[in-house]
Amino acid sequence: MAEQPAPGRPFLVVLTGGPSSGKSSALALLRDRLSARGFQVLTVPENATHFLANSDGFQPEWAGTDKQVEMQRIFLNFQISQEESFKAFAGLHPTKRAVLLLDCCTINSKVYVSDEQWSKVLGLAGHEPWTEEALFARYDLVVHMMTCAMEGHYEWGPGSNNPGRYHTPEQAKEQDGRCLQVFQSHPQLRVVPHCPDFNDKIEKVAEFVNDALQIEGLTGRRRRRTCRVVEAEAFEKLAHVGSVSASMVSSTFVDDGMRQSVRRKARLSSQVWLDAYHWWQERGASVAASDVIDPSSGLSSWVAKAKHFSSKATHFSYERRHQVVCPVAQEQSYLTRRMIPEEDYYLALDSRPAHDRKSSTKFVLRFLHDSQYYELFFFFGGKDLVLDFSADASEVPVCFELGQGELERKDSESEVPPRASAGPPPKRPRILRAHSTEEAALFGG
């Protein structure tokens, strides 16, 4: 038999955060979802517990001494060995791409020691020397989940819902802050704050991971085609299937170079999304983006209608994005994303005059059909309905008729460049492409 193609390099995701941040729940959800999408998922356990739970534990007299440095070096060596062993095991699978989910990584040791001690850990005599940059390069994505102690929802000690948790709320906050400070230098850091609805927090973690996998091309090549609905009744039925989700995403760039933006994402019901689609189709798509000002409201009909649909939305989340461009090598550019509070979102908007902002409003419908994942979207001010789907899909739902020509997606190549070293490959820069948020904002979407 012909030898099957190698599945490619593993993708390493680190979940980090202070006590009671939800890492265990996030790991379980990610494992289930990624497995369902055809990935080989391996969860790498936290290293310190392996030693501390199977020994007399950390001795108080070690604190601040060389014994603590030596202990952290033991943890570091063990973690490197664990990661390499899991990566090697992942390589045994003949076809599936691997995602390693780490509850802890080599950098976590820095959280528990001083900077001076950390330097000693990295260069401890008798051990292979490491730099912090080399350790960071081992990981493709870091997701920091903030502790719920930040919002006063933290329980600990006897009589609580977690009597085994010994950190006080103040200690939990301090450890969370130290953890974020330690991981701040990773170029692919994502920060998820505590949310009143824990499911929203977990969903945001899943969104960050899914987005990173698509940008790296690990979910397989995606295609984008313009389309139109040719069977309205079948389309309405598809839109109301229970697994369908819909959202309204408003993005605003707050700098001249369109490198920094804030984004508000709101959940819509399928019916509200359909209402927006019908309005856009019947009136919006036929009107130029430079729609005349409505004297009664002082707003363009686009903006007024966007506000109308926004009023019917639920579960708002806010995010700041920064496209960091390397002046020497464009391929080393990367995108940082951070969830922010609502007030920070509006402060960012206020930092730039309204007439000088470039914004876009996108309506997205996500659905499954014949086990394939699809996204259908349009921009207010744009004239195309676009279907995003897997290149492996043999056909699309019969309610759609695809337009001519492929819409190139440079951020979703099927071929993943090999690693030049132990670190991750160069990140693909996001470029201005057809039907992108950047294009819609630049040209009035």
Which residues in the chain come in under a pLDDT of 50?
A: 1-6, 154-166, 285, 288-299, 329, 409-421, 425, 427-432
Side chain identity at residue 412, one-letter code? S
- pLDDT for 304: 84
pLDDT at 158: 47
28 backbone dihedrals φ, ψ, rounded to 5°: -65, -45
- The pLDDT score that the predictor gives to residue 15 is 92
The reply to whether the predicted model has a pTM over 0.75 is: no
**In whole angstroms, what is the distance from residue 406 CA to residue 205 CA?**
31
pLDDT score recorded for residue 347: 93
Residues in the chain: 445
Per cent of the chain over pLDDT 90 is 36
pLDDT (0 to 100) of residue 160: 45
Contact (Cβ atoms closer than 8 angstroms) between residue 317 and residue 343: no
Query: Residue 434 has what pLDDT?
Result: 56
Q: Where are the beta strands (DSSP E) in 311-396?
A: 314-324, 334-339, 358-369, 372-379, 385-390
Write the CB contacts of 234 (distance below 8 Å, at least 6 apart in sequence): 397, 398, 399
Q: How far, rounded to the nearest angstrom, does the alpha carbon of residue 206 sit from its chain's CA centroid?
A: 7
Least Cα distance to 423 among 351, 324, 332 occurs for 332
- For residue 100, the model assigns a pLDDT of 95
How far, in Å, CA of 76 to CA of 81, rounded?
Answer: 9
Q: Let me know: does 100 contact 90? Beta carbons within 8 Å.
A: yes
Q: Which amino acid is at 377?
A: F
Please identify which residue in the block is written with the tokens 């991971």: 209
- Quick check: 261 and 253 in contact, CB under 8 A? yes
